[in-house]
Amino acid sequence: MCQVCGCSGAAEEPAVVADPSRDRLIRLEKDILSENDAYARANRQRFEARGVLALNLVSSPGSGKTTLLERTLGALPTGVAAAVIEGDQQTTLDADRIRATGVPAVQINTGKRCHLDAHGVGHAIDDLDLADGAVLFIENVGNLVCPAPFDLGEAHKVVILSVTEGDDKPLKYPDMFAAADLMLINKIDLLAHVDFDVGRAIGHARRVNRAIQAITVSARTGQGMERWVEWLSAARAMQLAASPLREAG
């Protein structure tokens, strides 16, 4: 149970529940996730109908998500529309930074909650004028625990791991890396100054998720950004291919 917002991930139900209060807790956790999943399905249907590629960006605080996002928005191919949903406990600082690039952004302040949920994202979508075929970046609250089990309706979770955090994070926070389709290892311009082994980090991530892909980048220098943009373009093409827009066109 999260001590910040009272949320929880999906709990494994024990064979025997001796404590009635624990039984109620497990039921509450399941109810919360079940309700969230219903909103997530509705969000996903909206995205798929419009050919929108929605990405849930997750990481620890300070991983460089917003800086990476700013550089990514400037590197998208010409003609690709983008929008951003920013999640933070307080302030509009990140949304202000995104709007300064000319890309529309909606801020969600979660208060005491330490993750975004599908219901809040659905309301944020209503405030965005999403173009058909756009890329929607959802920058989640900095946290490698609570956001893991909460589906927002995204096509992919992308976990950002900075080299300043340590290469053992995939093993220490396995649920997040197990839920992600892609791991971006950021701040590689600092590798000479930190004790971080890229190969070991990728190996640890693949111990918990054999299918996870990995790309190394530096949001500050731009190194590796071309591979990240190529991944985005391929993911967007797949989203468009599965959309009713293709048949209509």
16 has pLDDT over 60: no
CATH superfamily of 21-248: P-loop containing nucleotide triphosphate hydrolases (3.40.50.300)
Look-up of token digits 């910040």: 4
164 burial type by CB count under 10 A (0-12 exposed, 13-18 middle, 19+ buried): middle
What Rg value do the Cα atoms of the chain yield, rounded? 18
* pLDDT value for 25: 53
What are φ and ψ of residue 18, in 5° steps? -85, -25
Q: What does each C-alpha distance from 62 to 68, 92, 136, 144, 189 come to in angstroms? A: 11, 16, 21, 12, 15
* pLDDT value for 112: 83
Q: What is the pLDDT of residues 26-35, one digit of tens each?
A: 555 667 789 9
- pTM for the predicted model, two decimal places: 0.88
CB-CB contact of 82 with 134 (8 Å): yes
Look-up of token digits 């302040």: 109
DSSP secondary structure letter of residue 218:
-
15 has pLDDT over 90: no
Domain boundaries, the chain: 21-248
Q: What is the pLDDT of residues 99-110, one digit of tens each?
A: 999 999 999 998
